Amino acid sequence: MDDKHLNAGAQSQGRRASITCCHCALTLTASRATLTRMRKSLLYFVIVAFAVAFGLGSCIINRAPDVARPTGPSMVGLDSTRTFRAVAYDPENGPVSVRFDWGDGDSSPWSELTPSFDTVATAHVWRSPGMYLISAQARDGRGAYSKWSSSCSVRVAMVGQTHWRFDPGFEVYGLPSSPAVAADGTVYFCVGRHLAALHPDGSPLWRDSISETSSQLGSAAVRPDGIVLFCAGESLHAIRPNGTIMWRWGATEYCTPPAVSPDGRSFVVSGGTEPRLYAIGADGSVGWSCRIDGSFFFPSPPAIGADGVIYVRSGDSCLLAVNSDRTNRWKCGIGSSDGSSPALDNGIAYVGSGDSCLYAITWSGTLSWRFKTGGPILSSPTIGVDGTVYIGSEDGVTYAVRPDGSLKWRYDAGAPIASSPAICADGRICFTAGGFVHVLGPDGSLDRFFPIEGLQYSGYGASCPAIGPDGTLYVGVPDYPGKATLRALGGSSPLANSAWPKYQHDNENRGCMSQ
């Protein structure tokens, strides 16, 4: 091999050696840097552990605070001040401050620093009606912020006016019934063992103890001739407009409020293990009775169609149609023996059931459709001028259902609903739930509300509203155990002229389509 090739080989080996040395140097440098970082990290964690062990962790670690969902009223009057509260805490047990987002584009200033877990209260005024979502945020003394909390909702609307309040002045056993309003404006109010007749201005016309044995009177109904009918436990009473007793008829079990036909006959259902439908003449005599299948102890009132057919729930989970001569026309299954009384439209019977469904049944006895809600239905359906069916459910929602069974809108009242809605001539819908009388617009938005202080049973104790000729709303309310009152509230218009605008059809509670 000549010198030229020897020199080239030596140079190549030298370059490789140089590259190898550089690579080793770089590797050594990187390893030293990694080691340095590891040593610093280890030293940091040792210091942190030492600080935490000796109660000095807050000097080094500052974890963000947290805040709970705000609490406050679910309904707020327009232009009125209401207070909401939130509880915040700091993981290091330091002081915190809180601010609120009011959902209307405004937020509160930060509160003063308060001890961890103390309640912070702040007030606000809403100037526009609507639904608002309120949330809160916390900040600790070292400037760390929490995330915004989950939100609570509040409805803002006009607060309605209470015209008067009638206190019967005696101890009440049971719950107040739905009032009846006669053609002359007299209001009849059954509560406990007593019946009261009132002038439209709330002054008493008369009041008397009707039953010494029954703890509960059913809703009164007014016949076309002005005679007042109501059931007290196992008996049906007929009272003259001056308050004197005309006659009394007795059954063996609890009776429903009556449905009244144009000829003055009363149809009632008695419960028990052998329930029956009775036809009671205008003079108190029994015209006929028929056995209803199944058994139940709290039956629903019957409803009378324009052709005289009586529609009644049976104890074997069916809706039964009975001809005026007591022969059975048909029966159709409705899922449960519990539920509401029927409401009637041209060719359709609507009934709510304990299986959470609203049933639409043709007058020939076939199921047209059923609409599913989120809870049992005790609220009797009512029907608007355009055929929309309104129903309240124990899931706390009032549903507006089109005649074809599709959902039109829903309104969440936030409490179980047993009160049947009443429909005004201007399309507003009124019902009671959760300590309020709610008045909705035709589109399902809250138009106004009436706070009912002391309302028991989350709305179960309030009666179905009646609507006077001048638009006044009449509602029976249990203020507290042993006490009940009748409220006259400012309404907007008279009762709607629809197929079935309220509980038991009309202000007289007759439960008959042809009246």
Of 178, 179, 207, residue with least CA distance to 194: 207
**Is there a single domain that holds both residue 420 and residue 344?**
yes
Tally of helices (H runs) and strands (E runs) in the chain:
1, 39
**Is there a single domain that holds both residue 94 and residue 175?**
no
157, 174, 200 — which closes off a domain?
A: 157
- Per-residue model confidence (pLDDT) at position 24: 40
Instruction: Please tell me whether residue 441 adopts helix, strand or coil conformation.
Output: coil
Neighbouring residues of 206: CB distance < 8 A, sequence distance ≥ 6: 196, 197, 242, 243
228 with 180: CB under 8 angstroms? yes
- Per-residue model confidence (pLDDT) at position 408: 98
**Is there a single domain that holds both residue 139 and residue 166?**
no
Residue whose structure tokens are 């529609």: 311
Fill in the DSSP letter of residue 422: E
Largest CA distance in the chain: 145
**Is there a single domain that holds both residue 125 and residue 41?**
no
* Structural domain of 252: 160-489
- CA dist 486 to 168, 178, 375, 465, Å? 8, 10, 29, 11
Question: Is residue 348 situated within a structural domain?
Answer: yes
Residue 355 tokens, joined: 């299986």
pTM equals 0.83
115 with 155: CB under 8 angstroms? no
130, 157, 184 — which closes off a domain?
A: 157
Question: Is residue 12 situated within a structural domain?
Answer: no
- The residue ranking higher by pLDDT, 241 or 480, is 241
pLDDT band at 280 (very low <50, low <70, confident <90, very high): very high
**Is there a single domain that holds both residue 144 and residue 226?**
no
Fill in the DSSP letter of residue 217: B
- Per-residue model confidence (pLDDT) at position 414: 87
Residue 31 tokens, joined: 């390893």
**Is there a single domain that holds both residue 172 and residue 305?**
yes
Question: Is residue 425 situated within a structural domain?
Answer: yes
- Per-residue model confidence (pLDDT) at position 458: 42
**Is there a single domain that holds both residue 195 and residue 133?**
no
- Per-residue model confidence (pLDDT) at position 44: 40
pLDDT digit string, tens, across residues 295-316: 877 788 999 999 999 999 998 9
The CATH number given to whatever domain includes residue 363 is: 2.130.10.10
Question: Is residue 453 situated within a structural domain?
Answer: yes
Question: Is residue 494 situated within a structural domain?
Answer: no
CB crowding 103-125: b at 16 or more within 10 Å, else e: bbeebbeebeeeebeeebebebe
The CATH number given to whatever domain includes residue 79 is: 2.60.40.10
Average pLDDT rounded to a whole number, residues 464-491:
87
**Is there a single domain that holds both residue 44 and residue 104?**
no
Question: Is residue 389 situated within a structural domain?
Answer: yes
pLDDT exceeds 70 at position 438: yes
Question: Is residue 506 situated within a structural domain?
Answer: no
Fill in the DSSP letter of residue 57: G
pLDDT digit string, tens, across residues 176-227: 789 999 999 999 998 767 789 999 999 999 987 665 555 556 789 999 999 9
Lowest mean pLDDT among 53-57, 334-338, 441-445: 53-57
**Is there a single domain that holds both residue 245 and residue 377?**
yes
**Is there a single domain that holds both residue 287 and residue 412?**
yes
pLDDT exceeds 90 at position 132: yes
Question: Is residue 513 situated within a structural domain?
Answer: no
Q: Please compute, for residue 106, the number of CA atoms within 13 A of its CA located in the half-sphere on the CB side.
A: 10
pLDDT exceeds 60 at position 32: no
pLDDT band at 167 (very low <50, low <70, confident <90, very high): confident
**Is there a single domain that holds both residue 86 and residue 184?**
no
Number of domains in the chain: 3
Average pLDDT, the chain: 85
Report the run of H or E that residue 330 belongs to, with start and end: strand 328-333
**Is there a single domain that holds both residue 398 and residue 461?**
yes
CA distance 114 to 386: 56
12, 46, 61 — which closes off a domain?
A: 61
